[in-house]
Chain A
């Protein structure tokens, strides 16, 4: 289990650090361009996207190794917790003008966007290398 968790943590570390770096750079750019609500929204959404992804991975050991009933109960509670967490930045951005709503939504998908971008760019790179070889 320890080894499995290491693989999962490694995955989390890669995707979350890229997402955070992207959000911070984009946030700084937004602050420079006087688009503060967009920058704040993006960083807020990204933070919660990272928390959600980390929770997904870190709670895996909690969900396995129990009876079926207990695992189902724990999974249900964790989903409830994760969706409740994701609702916080959305509610904040709707209620407070300090956060741009659209940017917050984009931030909430930042981990997913990083996963997609990383894999697709790797796929394109591999294809180009193959073409060069033949």
Chain B
């Protein structure tokens, strides 16, 4: 059996499509399952509110599903587009697009399930806050989707840009690195953002007078949580658009792929850690509004410290790209 480049491109398209939808389905399924499980608990606690809880669950699940629909879009593009190319770069472009979107949808899918589930619990606890809880849940869930949108942007850039004029080596490695940076980089921020939004729904239901403060601090906490996904996006952009001199050295190629993997994996922990920090701050601000300035300050300091490992990853990734 002989394999020419067209067959490899086809193989990459099928594999990339499978990776995009396979990984992409994990997050949304867990998130939607979490929402439904919380809805069950909420209905058993307050059966009279089952209509509103069902409604909250349905709306929350519809938003949590967005990341999986992004993955479906990329998977369908990979499966039904006739790709052409002359080199292994085209194979890597297709694989990286699938990887970026698939991995990038995991965190957002799980994360946006957290506020949806907590909103259902909140409706059962505080029926009068039903509308405000749903709005807060939707805002929190929407912010959770941003890392998966970053991954989608990188996938689209990979699929719709022309890389044929670039040298095969080390471009193939830079492209795969970009897929890893954007994909892995989105996981932590999606999850962390979900933790913050979850507690804001809880706080709002426990202490309705704190609603607007809790929403504002949730948005601040989520914004900081997104920064590591932005680092992943930044490294992906550099890897895609810097333009590298031709080199047959495997070391140079591995340095570029390593930069993407380093940034992507390095962003997971800080994203979740920052989310956990903001989660506690939002929880206690809801209970003790007078302490808002101090708790916000401590939250931001804690997030900055948690972010430091993400910055180390960014520095190492930049060293791998520009120095080695």
Residue positions of A touching B, CB distance < 8 A: 3-4, 6-8, 11, 53, 56-57, 60, 79, 83, 86-87, 90-91, 94-95, 101, 105, 108-109, 111-112, 115-116, 119-120, 122-123, 126-127
Using C-beta atoms within 8 Å of the partner chain, give the interface range for chain B: 20 to 34
B58 at the interface (CB under 8 A from A): yes
Q: Give the nearest-CB partner of A1 in chain B.
A: B50
Please give, as numbers and ranges, the residues of chain A lying within 8 Å of B68 by CB-CB distance.
83
CA distance A57 to B60 in the complex (A): 12
Would you call B55 and A90 a contact (CB within 8 A)?
no
B175 at the interface (CB under 8 A from A): no
| Given A112-B66, A122-B135, A123-B139, 13 new contacts (CB under 8 A) | A7-B54, A7-B55, A11-B59, A56-B58, A60-B54, A87-B72, A90-B72, A94-B80, A108-B73, A115-B59, A120-B138, A123-B135, A126-B132
Would you call B80 and A111 a contact (CB within 8 A)?
no
Residue positions of B touching A, CB distance < 8 A: 25, 29, 50-52, 54-55, 58-59, 61-63, 66, 68-69, 72-73, 76-77, 80-81, 131-132, 134-135, 138-139, 142, 212
Would you call A3 and B72 a contact (CB within 8 A)?
no
Would you call B54 and A8 a contact (CB within 8 A)?
yes
Please give, as numbers and ranges, the residues of chain B lying within 8 Å of A95 by CB-CB distance.
80
Would you call B58 and A57 a contact (CB within 8 A)?
yes
Contact partner of B62 (CB less than 8 A), chosen from A4, A79, A86, A112, is A112
CA distance A127 to B139 in the complex (A): 15
Contact partner of B131 (CB less than 8 A), chosen from A6, A87, A122, is A122
